[in-house]
Amino acid sequence: MLGILVGLKQEAQLAKRFFPDAVIALSHACESGAVRALAELKAAGATELLSFGCAGGLDEDLPPGTVQVAGFVHVDGQSILTDEVLSERFGANKVSVRGGLYHSNVMIAQAAEKAALFHQTKCHAVDMESGIVARSGLPFAVLRVVCDDAARNLPPAAAVALKEGKVHIPALLASLVQHPGQIGALMTLGRDAAQAHKSMAEFLKQL
């Protein structure tokens, strides 16, 4: 049975649309949530795993909307290879980007930090779920789409406005009051996220 670990509710809806027979669990975009979600998937009988959804860009050459089927996950200083058979099933032969995905337990918000991580690890993108999946002991694949430009800093609201897998409006508004200058950056991030969602949906239709 396929178990899919995602960060956000919108990603879960997309996964359910294209993989209706899979069991899906949400991390709510945090590492502790990913640990709980993995336990849910195992308890439901998952025998193979897919880490699915958006990822933060680390490689400035990859624009938002770039789909990656990762060849390995870099977590806690080691690189764990994905399962080749599963990766092929989820489109490894249809993407231009394989390479690595970096697991972080915190959001990577600053462009300088993204550039440093890319230089150190050669990973093209980052998320907070794939490392948990990689250390599960089960065969796994990673299907992610870049949702922000590695060359730009994330606006402050990005770190505080998510709750229970979706945008938390009170927290968003509070951040806007504190940092009104981020409105333009938030609009850009919203456009990038919409492009990422569209790109992933189009990619899944090809599968």
Q: Which CATH number fits the domain that encloses residue 44?
A: 3.40.50.1580
In contact, 4 and 52? CB cutoff 8 Å: yes
**Domain total for the chain?**
1
CB neighbours (10 Å) of residue 22?
19
- What letter would DSSP give residue 19? -
* Rounded-to-integer distance, Cα 94 and Cα 97, Å: 9
* pLDDT, tens digit, 9 for 90 and up, residues 137-155: 999 999 999 999 999 887 6
Does 21 have pLDDT greater than 80? yes
Residues in Cβ contact with 43 at an 8 Å cutoff, skipping those fewer than 6 apart: none
Which residue range forms the structural domain that includes residue 193?
2-206
Whole-number Å distance between alpha carbons of 9 and 26: 7
Mean pLDDT computed over every residue of the chain: 89
pTM: 0.89
Return the pLDDT at 187: 74
User: Is residue 23 exposed (0-12), middle (13-18) or buried (19+ Cβ within 10 Å)?
Assistant: middle
